[in-house]
Amino acid sequence: MTQHSRDLSRRRLLFGGAALSAGVVLAGCTSNETAPTAAQTKAAAAGGNADPGKKVTIGFSAPAADHGWIAAITNNAKAQAGAYSDVEFKSVEAGADAAAQRAALSTLISQKPDVIVLLPYDGKELNAFGLEAMKAGIPVVNLDRAFPDARAYRLQIKGDNYGMGVAAATYIVAQLKAKGVSNPVIGEIPGIDSLELTQERSKGFADTLAANGLKVANRRPAEFTADSGQQAATGLLQALPKIDALWNHDDDQGIGVLAAVNQANRKEFFMVGGAGSKKAMEDIQADNTVLKATVTYSPSMASSAISLARLIGQGKGMSDLVELQVPKEIVLASETITKENAGDYLKLGF
Amino acid sequence: MSEMTPTATSARADLPAPSPPVDPAETAAKADAARRLSWWRGDGGEGVRRNLGLIGVLVVLIVIGILTRPDLYGDSNWVWDNILTILKLASVVGVVTVGMTFVIIGGGIDLSVGAIVALAGVWATTVATQSYGAGGMVFAALTVGLAVGLVNGVLISYGRLVPFIATLAVLVAARGLAAEISDKQTQVSSNTFINGIASNKLLGIPLLVYILAAVVAAGWVLLNRTTFGRRTVAVGGNPEAARLAGINVRRHTLLLYALSGLCCGIAAIMLTAQANSAQAAMANLYELDAIAAAIIGGTLLSGGRGTIIGSLLGVIIFSTITNLFAINGLSTEAQNMVKGGIIVAAVLVQQVQFRSLTQFLGRNRATTT
């Protein structure tokens, strides 16, 4: 008797489990109705370089998105390519690590694109690929994570991590001077501490503070995610009962940092963000949180990289420059966004 | 338990049933009696001693805090606030650890907890779910947690996958699905009720701490005062004996993973409230935090033994260490090394204690586990 009924109940459970998991998958496909993020593109200006020219096939590869910034890079590149009638955009999934990206890139080479735009997992690890592609006659545009070997790229366009720290510290020093604070307590919440980019940002920050006779009182690293930002900030606020200024490296994790600040009911300090997300710019504009400024590290560089890759493919230079070819290196300046100019930058927020 | 089945091996209970050598009813009765005896005489008292040891570790940590930052600890308002902060930091991992403790006592492991928290959190914060209000978000998180837990359970009990593999697969798949749903973006929660769970207090104590206390209390009652709890210990301690005693081991295992999933759903709401947002990468490596906390709390990784209070103390010890390093401005690298050291020390102490315990109780007990 028991054998039979147990079989039935087992079957029921099994079926129930399968039905539930099917429900999970189905709902997953239908439950999100967010509009696609508005991408940062440059409307084609009339005349000159913007006129349709020779057809250019651009191959693109970036790591799988693990946070908003990388997602914005890929979206921007796609959208900018779509803005040109003479660009064919071929994107390959980079997979999970540098080795997977190398494999994906070799399939890209076989499709013979005119130019390759590449945000490598790691510039050092993919340097060899850059050399190989350049040798095969395909110009490589290296996006953000630099190749150590200058022969491995035709153009390098990247943000300025050290400069970001400098910009944040410069703003903080100016504000503290204006307020006349002596012996200020300055906190810092960096992103993943083992990354070179984080170390450069922190170095720029510390160097600039030191030049003004100041130092960081406490730094608690997060992981570029909002929940880790909340936890790091909770620890920092607990360690420093009174803070004058706080620099948080990344606006995505900043959502959690601001949440922690609200939860701890702290208002005595001002905060500077990093990267320049849309939400951060809106918060700065609204001026109702401790976030008073953010220093950019804009994913709009992906849009620029596609525009420049097109010019390289067509053999044209940048119209405002005298040179007949696109320059070899472009480092974006880290700009400081405050309440005054947030409106202008909002369209670049991701 | 071992007296009844001296030849029992660690084989899975779902083997085809050999005809039991003795009357099943008698076996069940004996097993139950033996379990009750061993519970009160052995494990119960031993658990209390172990928990006292953990409280001792906590006291040492607090003394270190007082010695290193006398300026902060001199302010009684700050000290009270700091205790609440430590408990708040422990709350999310604490809820996950309660579910994990059940799974480990039942002889399994759940590597997917962090991923379930992320998936449930992301699901609860989609624009569509948020349009249903706080109730809809809570319902979504709990349902997703429970559903993924059931998937784990079905794969393990009926698909006969090893728990390590099954939950590893679900970990990868759930993070993938979460990334797909969220389009890899951070989804901001604009629901003030949900966000208020992390910022509001009742009688001066944060709501998150009440939730942790409620889950721990429910877990304690479930483990110590119900047949479900007794069965969990029996299934983990010796699945073959449990099966011979008439326990439906497969169904019980399924329920354990569902319970862990449900805890993850609760934790997802708490974490979403804390961060005012959710994303696919959230709750990173919470599985390791939960397993580590359960183990230093005295839960035997091979199953059959463990306490909810011990696991709670394990979580609180970890969040106290995090707090201690934060208030002293020390690097997180050093903090991780200390945590690793504490895990090793806890397991070593466990082994020593267990050896002396078995010697004390004689040879019969020594054959258990």
Are residues A139 and A190 both part of a single domain?
A: no
Are residues A174 and A289 both part of a single domain?
A: yes
Q: Which of B123, B280, B326 sits opposite A235 (nearest CB)?
A: B326
d(CA B181, CA B203): 38
Q: Could you tell me if residue A22 is inside a domain? A: no
Q: Which residues contact B359 (CB under 8 A, 6 or more apart)?
A: B366
Q: Could you tell me if residue B34 is inside a domain? A: no
Encoded tokens for B94: 């604490």
The predicted pLDDT at position B1 comes to: 40
pLDDT over 90 at A194, yes or no: no
Number of structural domains found in chain A: 2
Low-confidence ranges of chain B (pLDDT < 70): 1-47, 350, 353-369
Encoded tokens for A261: 């600040």
- Average pLDDT (A52-71) is 84
Encoded tokens for B323: 């707090």
B328·A239 Cβ contact <8 A: yes
Interface test with B, best of A257, A263, A279 (most B CBs within 10 A): A263
B85·A259 Cβ contact <8 A: no
3-state helix, strand, coil in chain B (%, to 5): 75, 0, 25
Are residues A82 and A205 both part of a single domain?
A: no
Note the pLDDT tens digit of each residue in A95-141: 778 888 888 888 888 888 999 999 988 888 888 889 988 988 999 99
The predicted pLDDT at position A203 comes to: 95
Q: Which of B72, B153, B284 sits opposite A228 (nearest CB)?
A: B284
Note the pLDDT tens digit of each residue in A275-311: 988 899 999 999 999 999 999 998 889 999 999 999 9
Closest-approach residue (CA) in chain B for A188: B329
Q: Which of A65, A255, A263 sits opposite B277 (nearest CB)?
A: A255
In chain A, the percentage of residues whose pLDDT exceeds 90 is 49
The predicted pLDDT at position B29 comes to: 60
Residue A184, min C-alpha distance to chain B (Å): 16
Q: Could you tell me if residue A42 is inside a domain? A: no
Q: Could you tell me if residue A19 is inside a domain? A: no
Number of structural domains found in chain B: 1
Q: What DSSP assignment string belongs to A135-154?
A: HTT--EEEESS--SSGGG-S
Q: Could you tell me if residue B38 is inside a domain? A: no
Q: pLDDT band at A34, cuts 50/70/90?
A: very low
Q: Could you tell me if residue A29 is inside a domain? A: no
Q: What DSSP assignment string belongs to A281-344?
A: HHHHHHT-SSEEEEEE--TTHHHHHHHHHHHHHHT---TTSSSSS--SEEEPPPPEEETTTHHH
d(CA A260, CA B271): 12
Q: Which of A20, A68, A227 sits opposite B274 (nearest CB)?
A: A227
A193·B333 Cβ contact <8 A: yes
Q: What residues of B are in contact with residue A260 (Cβ under 8 Å)?
A: 274
In chain A, the percentage of residues whose pLDDT exceeds 70 is 86
Diameter over CA atoms, chain A: 91
Q: What residues of B are in contact with residue A219 (Cβ under 8 Å)?
A: 329
CATH of the domain at A104: 3.40.50.2300
pLDDT over 50 at A13, yes or no: no
The predicted pLDDT at position B75 comes to: 85
Q: Could you tell me if residue B27 is inside a domain? A: no
A226·B150 Cβ contact <8 A: no
Residue B243, min C-alpha distance to chain A (Å): 14
Kindly list the strands in the beta sheet with A336-338, ordered across the sheet, starting from the edge strand earlier in the chain.
A216-219, A186-189, A245-248, A270-275, A291-296, A336-338
The predicted pLDDT at position A136 comes to: 87
Residue A91: C-alpha distances to residues A75, A108, A146, B130 (Å) = 11, 8, 20, 33
A17·B180 Cβ contact <8 A: no
- Does residue A226 contact residue A259 with C-beta atoms inside 8 Å? yes
Q: Could you tell me if residue A33 is inside a domain? A: no
Closest-approach residue (CA) in chain B for A226: B275
Closest-approach residue (CA) in chain B for A236: B326
Are residues A242 and A274 both part of a single domain?
A: yes
ipTM: 0.78
Q: Could you tell me if residue A72 is inside a domain? A: yes
B122 is in which domain, residue-wise? 48-332
Are residues A292 and A305 both part of a single domain?
A: no
Interface test with B, best of A11, A24, A251 (most B CBs within 10 A): A24
A72 is in which domain, residue-wise? 50-159+299-316
Are residues A249 and A308 both part of a single domain?
A: no
> Other C-beta atoms within 10 Å of B319: how many?
23
Encoded tokens for A329: 């290196």
Are residues A155 and A63 both part of a single domain?
A: yes
Closest-approach residue (CA) in chain B for A222: B332
Q: Could you tell me if residue B240 is inside a domain? A: yes
Q: Could you tell me if residue B353 is inside a domain? A: no
Q: Could you tell me if residue B234 is inside a domain? A: yes
Are residues A148 and A184 both part of a single domain?
A: no
B188·A279 Cβ contact <8 A: yes
Are residues A117 and A140 both part of a single domain?
A: yes
Interface test with A, best of B79, B274, B284, B324 (most A CBs within 10 A): B274
Q: Is the dihedral of CA A318, A321, A327, A330 positive or negative?
A: negative
Q: Helices (H) and strands (E) in chain B — how many of each?
A: 17, 4
Are residues A170 and A235 both part of a single domain?
A: yes
Are residues A188 and A122 both part of a single domain?
A: no
Least confident of A163-167, A192-196, B23-27: B23-27
Q: pLDDT band at A173, cuts 50/70/90?
A: very high
The predicted pLDDT at position A21 comes to: 45
Are residues A149 and A175 both part of a single domain?
A: no
A20·B151 Cβ contact <8 A: yes
A13·B251 Cβ contact <8 A: yes
Q: What residues of A are in contact with residue B75 (Cβ under 8 Å)?
A: 241
- Average pLDDT (A191-200) is 87
In chain B, the percentage of residues whose pLDDT exceeds 90 is 55
Q: Which of A225, A235, A255 sits opposite B281 (nearest CB)?
A: A225
Half-sphere exposure of A35 (CA within 13 A, CB side): 3
Q: Could you tell me if residue B42 is inside a domain? A: no
Interface test with A, best of B77, B132, B279, B331 (most A CBs within 10 A): B279
Q: pLDDT band at A39, cuts 50/70/90?
A: low
Q: Which of B89, B129, B148 sits opposite A231 (nearest CB)?
A: B89
In terms of Cα–Cα distance, which of B167, B197, B202, B166 is closest to B269? B197
The predicted pLDDT at position B352 comes to: 72
Closest-approach residue (CA) in chain B for A35: B127
Residue A102, min C-alpha distance to chain B (Å): 22
CATH of the domain at B282: 1.10.3470
Q: What residues of B are in contact with residue A9 (Cβ under 8 Å)?
A: 251
In terms of Cα–Cα distance, which of B164, B128, B120, B162 is closest to B144? B120
A66·B281 Cβ contact <8 A: yes
Q: Could you tell me if residue B356 is inside a domain? A: no
In terms of Cα–Cα distance, which of A83, A155, A206 is closest to A329? A155
In terms of Cα–Cα distance, which of B201, B76, B209, B321 is closest to A241? B76
A24·B183 Cβ contact <8 A: no
Q: What DSSP assignment string belongs to A262-293?
A: HHTT--SSEEEEEE--HHHHHHHHHT-SSEEE
